[in-house]
Amino acid sequence: MPLGLEGVSERFIVHGGARLEGVVRVDGAKNSVLKLMAACLLAEGETTLTNCPEIGDVPLMRDVLEGLGCTVTIDGSTVTVNTPKEVNFRADFQAVRQFRASVCVLGPLTSRCHRAMVALPGGDAIGSRPLDMHQSGLEKLGATTRIEHGCVVAEAEKLHGAQIKLDFPSVGATENILTAAVLAEGTTTLYNAAREPEISDICAMLNSMGARISGIGTSTLTIEGVDKLHSTVHEVVGDRIVAGTWAYAAAMTRGDVTVGGISPQHLHLVLQKLKMVGASVETYDKGFRVRQEGRPKGVDYQTLPFPGFPTDMQPMAVGLAAISEGNSIITENVFEARFRFVDEMMRLGADATIDGHHVLIRGVDRLSSTPVWASDIRAGAGLVLAGLVADGDTEVNDVYHIDRGYPRFVENLNSLGADVRRVVD
């Protein structure tokens, strides 16, 4: 945890030079489980989620839900949410401030309680992520919304179906509109909806609760409102970003890693880029294998909503490009502040030039160790991967970020042949 919150500071010491080899399995997706937990607010009774990742954000979401009146039990990879008949509509600042995903309770609370007061959330320092589209979507469904005393407030005597088109396929806005529309009167059609696998996952869970959502996996979702939902049991979809991290670690260390627990279709472009750098990629029903012989080749990337290259994989792309042969241009189209991570990569010896939302990287043979600081979950993972291909020992600080998104990160790396130590001060 960050120094100042718990009085404890932790860092990783990464010994460079390891070649990663072996098998690793990914757990459920961070970007899905938190939203599924929030969706449990929609139905009275006990809902069980399996294949949950054991990460720092799951207990944080438990705190949010318990503040709303739920009882939440975490038992390894199983999370059970018991939702009462009457739910509190206020998500307080203390619980919400620590992570961005907490805003996903806005839709369920507006739908179930007809009012919601959710403190504006905190989270990773990767750029502004306003709630305009969340509010606009709820307003089209019949709610009134406002920002008041540091909270987003939504109120509605009754929600009704609507035709809604998003200006951008925002994952968060899609989720909040979905969870509000499932109990609205009439039919809602959501155009330019996000298509991420995590959206399909929440749609599948909602349908298992009695919702009527069609068009799953496409940019147009149709939601026929129902009177009531019921509790369910649901398995969380595999984490494509964690899987992609192991894939890029294999390529960076010229290794041979097999990743299980994930559909390769959720990483089609990510794996395609690895083929372009010279890696051998084999795909299976629920996994893939990445082998890299020789120095990778530089390729260009641009982040886009799914099925484009994920913004969450951008730090790993930067790390790979930094030690590849030739030049790479990486364009960030989603979060404007994500390139602050590049400054830390340059401390490790990466040859990079930032120009607006582009970064030009000229590959070098090897990085050089130095202390660096993680600014968000994926930046932290990217810095650890960079440490694997640096000379000497790289010290990665503020690793509580990594713990929020990667279960057993050090243990998994070391099982593949890395030498990474967690140091607690």
Active site residues per annotation: 124
Q: 144: number of CA atoms within 13 Å, CB side? A: 3
Residue 100 counted as an annotated binding residue: yes
Distances (CA, A) of 242 to 81, 316, 383: 25, 11, 14
Rg (alpha carbons) of the chain, rounded to whole number:
21
Query: Bridge partners of 222?
Result: 189, 214
Cis peptide before 307 (omega within 30 of 0): yes
Tokens representing 88 are: 């509190």
Which residue do the tokens 């602050």 mark?
A: 340
Of 404, 407, 346, nearest to 378 by C-alpha is 404
DSSP 70-81: -EEEEETTEEEE
Q: Is 213 helix (H, G, I), strand (E, B) or coil?
A: strand
- Residue that the structure tokens 């100042």 belong to: 4
C-beta separation of 380 from 396 below 8 A = yes
Q: What are phi and psi of 100, to 5 degrees?
A: -65, -35
Q: What is the token pair recorded at 310?
A: 């994920």
Instruction: List, in order, residues 6 or more apart from 102 with CB less than 8 Å away.
Output: 34, 60, 61, 64, 91, 95, 96, 118, 121
Asked if residue 404 belongs to a known ligand binding site, the reply is no
Q: Give the SS3 label for residue 237.
A: coil
**Whether 121 contacts 97, CB under 8 Å:** yes
Q: What is the C-alpha to C-alpha distance for residues 425 and 413, in angstroms, rounded to an integer? A: 22
Consult the annotation and say whether 281 binds a ligand.
no
Backbone angles phi, psi at 201, to 5 degrees: -65, -45
- Separation of alpha carbons 389 and 394, rounded Å: 10
Task: Please check if 312 is assigned to a binding site.
Answer: yes
Question: What residue numbers does the annotated binding site for phosphoenolpyruvate cover?
Answer: 30-31
Question: What residue numbers does the annotated binding site for UDP-N-acetyl-alpha-D-glucosamine cover?
Answer: 100, 312, 334
Question: What residue numbers does the annotated binding site cover?
Answer: 30-31, 100, 312, 334
